[in-house]
Structure 1
Amino acid sequence: MPVISAPHAFNEGRLYIDLRSIFGRSLYLKCEGFNFAGSIKLKAANEMVETAEREGVLTPDSILVESSSGNLGVALSMIAASKGYRFLCVTDSRCNLSTRLLMEALGSEVHIIADLDANGGFLGRRLDYVRALCASDDRYVWLSQYTNPGNWRAHYRTTAPEIAQEFPRLDVLFVGAGTTGTLMGCARYFRERRRPVRIIAVDSVGSVSFGGKPGRRMIPGLGMSMRPPLLDESYVDEVIRVEEVDTIRACHRLARRGFLFGGSTGTVVSGAMDWLARHDTRGLTAVAIAPDLGERYLDTIYQANWLQGLYGDDLLDSEEVTTGPRGAEPLPRTPGRRPKPQEGTA
């Protein structure tokens, strides 16, 4: 029986879902949302905070500050509350309302950036605000998830070994690309041990992490509006880009079978299934990492008016959309005002 005294001391890392019965192809989904922060970001947050404490960067008078689209902000809010630090999360208008409220419930302050930067995203503005804040008061400590090696080290030490232990004959690993901490940590682990694992990065269309033109992205989590400083493409075998409509369809298809996951997970699953459909998978062992759960997306990905306003009626008519029990008639849609789209990238 686990007994803990701090919320970050618990994290279930051995739960996998076999998606064959849902998608018709074998894929083991590693579920990383079963902790008190609700996402894989707990690992990076804990690693970065503990390193800063060991190095004397964090003191009792410090105020943690970080730029986050949501999940890392929640993880840091939880850790800060547990350890007695003040925390300010700098996010943007795409951050889910439930995520903002959760951070505030944990005692954190949330600052929302609403202006787009020169690249058509919010990240540049968020980082400018954090830099100005740190320059104004030396009590602020910025962990900088985008450049902090503790971000990838967390997954080198935990996520990758967990997968390797359960799947000694792993062939393909699908990892979502945001800051690329999870991607780089796992890729480095398998490369250094000379394991013949094919590393597939899954990114969002509109992200510029691996090059290309920036585009509108409304689902927070994966993707960047700048090249991730932690990224080393020599460790990546292939990149798959997923349209947001396909992210949403994957989320709803999972929900129709009782598995409520977040947008990052929907993106990874959609990209993985696309790759598996184009390759000979006989005898292939494939794993994908599910970074988050779906409760924080109830007012976006799982909300009919939000979907209609941004993506139109055709998406809602898809069989993957959650309309009721399998085999039942679609539930009537709730009338309401469609939200005005807000463009931007994480």
Structure 2
Amino acid sequence: MAIITSPQDFNTDDLYVDVESVIGSKLFLKCEGLNFAGSVKLKAASAMVEAAEQDGTLRPGSFLVESSSGNLGVALAMIAAAKGYKFVCVTDSRCNLATRRLIEALGSEVHVITEPDPHEGLLGARLNHVRELCASDERYVWLNQYSNPNSWKAHFDTTGPEIARQFPEIDVLFVGAGTTGTLMGCARYFKAHHPSVRIVAVDSVGSVSFGTPAARRMIPGLGSGVRPPMLDESFVDEVIHVEEADTIRTCQRLARIGFLFGGSTGTVVSGAERWLAQHGTPDMTAVAIAPDLGERYLDTIYQSHWVEDLYGEDVLDADRTTTVALAA
């Protein structure tokens, strides 16, 4: 029996889902959404807050502020509530309504940016707003998940070793690329301790992280409009870019067998499916990180009108065709 007094003290770190029945290749999903924050971002949030407290940056009376597409904002709102800090989450119009309401329910403020920066898009505009808040009041403390080394160190210390412990014969690891904290922490760990493991980064089409052109992205989580400062491509063996339509199809297919995952997870699984179809072998051990669950996406990727308006009816038609084929 586990008894806790703070929500950040609980996290399930050893649950994996075999999705071979869905994608046709053996793939184990490390489920990181089974905590009170609902995503892998709890690890980075906890590490950054603890480090800021230890070095004196974060003190009683401080106002936490952070730019987030959603999941880190929830994690910080939860930690702020538990520790007695005020928190302002700066997000944009792509953030799910359920996520914004959850942050507010935890007692934090949400500032929604609607006008993109002319050169760096909505993320650039969010960062500009954060800087303005910090300049307006010295009590604001910006943890800066985009360049804070504690973000990737959290995964170097936990996520990487957790995977290696459960799968000592792992051959390939698929990790989604957002701020790249999870990616860099896991990649650095495996390159240092298990260098034979192939690290495959999964990014969204329209993200500029790996030098590809910017384009419209409507699903929050993975991808970036600005190259992540933490990203070091020397630790990454390969990059796969996934169309958002394929993210939706994959999420819908997983839901048809009872697993409701979030958009970031759908992107990672879609990228892994494509890679394994080309390079996988029957004896290969493949693991992917599933960053989040799907309840916060019920009004978007699991809402037929939202999907059809943005991506057309063919996306759902293709999913239904795939589902029928799998059932047959």
TM-score range, shorter chain: over 0.9
Question: Runs (4+) of structure 1 moved beyond 3 Å?
Answer: 319-324
Unmatched tracts of structure 2, length 5 or more: none
User: How does 1:116-265 map onto structure 2 within 5 Å?
Assistant: 116-119=116-119, 121-265=121-265
Q: 2:302 — aligned with what?
A: 302
Q: Is contact 1:64-1:142 (8 Å) kept? A: yes
**Change beyond 3 A, Cα 1:127–1:319:** closer
In structure 2, distance between residues paired with 1:314 and 1:108:
39
Which SS does the other structure have where 2:98 is aligned? Answer: helix
TM-score (normalizing by structure 1):
0.92
Which SS does the other structure have where 1:122 is aligned? Answer: helix
In structure 1, distance between residues paired with 2:173 and 2:321:
27
Q: Could you report, residue by residue, the CA deviation over 1:256-304 in whole angstroms, capped at 9, with x for unpaired residues?
A: 0000000000000000000000014121100000000000000000001
Which of the two has greater helix per residue?
2
CA drift of 1:120 comes to 6.2
Q: Could you report, residue by residue, the CA deviation over 1:215-254 in whole angstroms, capped at 9, with x for unpaired residues?
A: 0000000000011000000000000000000000000000
Q: Percent identity?
A: 69
In structure 2, distance between residues paired with 1:280 and 1:205:
23
Which SS does the other structure have where 1:221 is aligned? Answer: coil
Q: 1:107 — aligned with what?
A: 107
Root-mean-square deviation (CA, aligned residues, Å) is 1.6
In structure 2, distance between residues paired with 1:202 and 1:253:
19
**Change beyond 3 A, Cα 1:78–1:192:** same
Unmatched tracts of structure 1, length 5 or more: 329-346
In structure 1, distance between residues paired with 2:44 and 2:322:
32
Q: 1:30 — aligned with what?
A: 30
In structure 2, distance between residues paired with 1:155 and 1:321:
38
AA of the residue aligned to 1:269: V
CA drift of 1:318 comes to 1.8
**Change beyond 3 A, Cα 1:283–1:81:** same
Q: Could you report, residue by residue, the CA deviation over 1:125-183 in whole angstroms, capped at 9, with x for unpaired residues?
A: 00001001101110000000001001000000110000000000110000000000000
Q: Is contact 1:249-1:321 (8 Å) kept? A: no
Which SS does the other structure have where 1:248 is aligned? Answer: helix
Which SS does the other structure have where 2:319 is aligned? Answer: coil
Q: 2:281 — aligned with what?
A: 281
AA of the residue aligned to 1:283: D
CA drift of 1:322 comes to 10
Q: 1:342 — aligned with what?
A: none
In structure 1, distance between residues paired with 2:322 and 2:289:
23
TM-score (normalizing by structure 2):
0.97
CA drift of 1:121 comes to 2.2
Q: Is contact 2:249-2:316 (8 Å) kept? A: no
Q: Is contact 1:120-1:214 (8 Å) kept? A: no
Q: 1:75 — aligned with what?
A: 75
